[in-house]
Structure 1
Amino acid sequence: MSTRIDGDLPRGPRFEVRFAQTAAEITETQKLRYRIFAGEMGAEIDGGADGLDHDQYDPFCRHLIVREADSGTIVACTRILTGERAPGAGGFYSSTEFDLAMLDSLAGRVMEIGRTCVAPEYRSGAVIATLWQGIASTIVNEGYDYLFGCASIDLRDGGAGAHAILEQLRAQHMAPAWQHVRPYIPLPAADRRARDKVRMPPLLKAYLSLGAKACGEAYWDRDFNCADVFMLLNVSDLNPRYARHFLGQSPTVATGTSAR
């Protein structure tokens, strides 16, 4: 795993993380998103006729990418929308699913990540860790106090797994009540209980490893056939073990611009 610093250091053995710098790179992330969300998860995506997942938020976001050094292929991505730029986009993406009034009570700068995905053939610990290294580096180097976003749980099993995971979150990883958000469409009850031990989705697991908390009940995203959990990380609560892992060399991720 390696992080590209200011675009100047040589690549590591396999992966590098940086912000997209061209419109073509952003389009490549939108193709990957469509491949995962529509092709793999069966999501109903507006504008999908061109094979791209894009929306009103993209022009106001910075798009963080992980490339395989040898092939140059983008294998993972997420997008970052900061509190400073969210008003231009009409608010945060999460505000379409949750009442985010509690954000006004947070003291400090906030940033949202969203549309996070990893190509199925690259879902290894190295790729996910590289992506999170870029996210964590951005938080620290740019002085953000809170990170939040929606972590999705697949509902293709009828919701049994999602409810089992939500039980774990309620028991061990729930934020205080004053930080809870209200889902506009609550997740309905499952038809049955999970029979086997359920696997925590990688994004949700990464949030929890960093020290993030779930902020209440899940939103039922019918278009994407998933349950979205609003996750909040107070940077002052960043797990020291994972802070060392992600930020051992305090890298600065190469900057890029969003295409308008």
Structure 2
Amino acid sequence: MAETVPSTCQVPVHKTTDVFGRIGNLETRLARTNAEIDAAQAVRYRVFVEEMNAQVAPDAMRRARDIDAWDMVCDHLLVLDTSIEGDAEEQIVGTYRLLRQDVARNSGGFYSQSEFDIEPLLARHPEKRFMELGRSCVLPEYRTKRTVELLWQGAWAYALKHRVDVLFGCGSFGGVVPEEHALALSFLHQNLLARDEWSVHAHADQYRTMDLMPSEAVNARRALAAMPPLIKGYLRLGAMIGNGAVVDHAFRTTDVLIVLPIGSISGRYINYYGADAGRFAS
């Protein structure tokens, strides 16, 4: 589990007023203030702790916030329901955390490095810009196609703005028993494993095998139906999966590493969101 941040820490904020996209009363943009980041942490707490029973530090529990050290350096993508009366902090219904390689290099690395050995992957691509996606969550009543599309719209627009070449991050299955997800994990290992220049492994002391079923017993349709929506979304875009799963006991999840080179994103999705991220632009 990530290191927690003292409550007095001041999180750097993004000063832009740009809105990446709108669909009806929903809009996506970066957090502009510390108060908005605090509100996003409250949304994460509601999803990860209250809904999924994640364990957080006593101070975070007292404050009802999901907080870690990376919050200080990441940009925080938000989805807001502008029809809700009140300040922006009260309108946040979804969030995504974005960490560019240049920022990570100067601030202690990537979150996923605690579970996966990504240094060899980075070293093989010194000319490429990597960006980590994490802490994705949406309030239950907003788990709709529109909200997901806006999260992707925002992440895509941000990646284009910063000329990112590769997206990656942890994708999670619920629970701490990988065998409960044998069908889905086996399908990922057997069909979508990142190889050669894109290969990446879970740290040896945390490595849990994903190849839990013989290939002849793995039904692709059933396996895809068993995937969490976020992982399924990455796969539709053209993502690959790292070798080995990691059990995160604090968050009560089984994690896999998603690797998505921008050049591998399916053309139909590029066309849908727009090569300039203009699909839902305001």
Equivalent residue of 2:69, what SS? coil
Q: What secondary structure is seen at the aligned counterpart in 2 of 1:111?
A: strand
Task: Report the Cα offset of residue 234 of structure 1.
Answer: 0.6
Paired with 1:148 and 1:243, the residues of 2 have a C-alpha distance of: 17
Cα shift readout 1:94-130 (whole Å, capped 9, x = no counterpart): 0011111222112311110111111111111111111
Which residue identity lines up with residue 162 of structure 1 in the other structure?
H
Identity percentage of aligned residues: 33
TM-score (norm 1): 0.85
After superposition, the Cα gap between the structure-2 partners of 1:83 and 1:190, relative to the gap in structure 1 and judged at 3 Å, is closer
Deviation at 1:178, TM superposition (A): 4.2
Alpha carbons 1:19, 1:253 under 8 Å: kept:
no
Pairwise mapping of residues 60-71 of structure 1 onto structure 2 (< 5 A)? 60-71=73-84
Alignment of 1:1-260 (within 5 A): 7=18, 12-46=23-57, 47-71=60-84, 73-101=91-119, 102-106=121-125, 107-155=127-175, 158-184=177-203, 185-187=206-208, 199-247=226-274, 250-251=277-278
Equivalent pair of 2:157/2:276 in contact (CA under 8 Å)? no
Residue by residue over 1:157-209, the C-alpha shift from the partner in whole angstroms, topping out at 9 and shown as x without a partner, is x4444222111112322211442323231237999999x86521111011111
Taking only aligned residues, the RMSD between alpha carbons, in angstroms, comes to 2.9
AA of the residue aligned to 2:159:
I
**TM-score, length-scaled by structure 2:** 0.79
Ranges in structure 1 where 5+ consecutive residues have no aligned partner: 255-260
Kindly indicate whether structure 1 or structure 2 has the higher relative contact order, using CA contacts under 8 Å at least 6 residues apart: 1
CA distance in 1, matches of 2:47, 2:72: 21
**By how many angstroms is 1:6 displaced?**
5.6
Structure 2 counterpart of 1:19, which letter?
Answer: L
Compared CA separation, residues 250 and 142, structure 1 to 2 (3 A): same
Residues paired across the two proteins, number: 248
Q: Could you say which residue in structure 1 is the equivalent of 2:9?
A: none
Give 1:60 deviation, angstroms.
Answer: 0.5
* Structure 1 contact 75–119 (Cα < 8 Å) conserved: yes
3-state secondary structure, aligned to 1:163: helix
* Amino acid in the other structure paired with 2:44: R
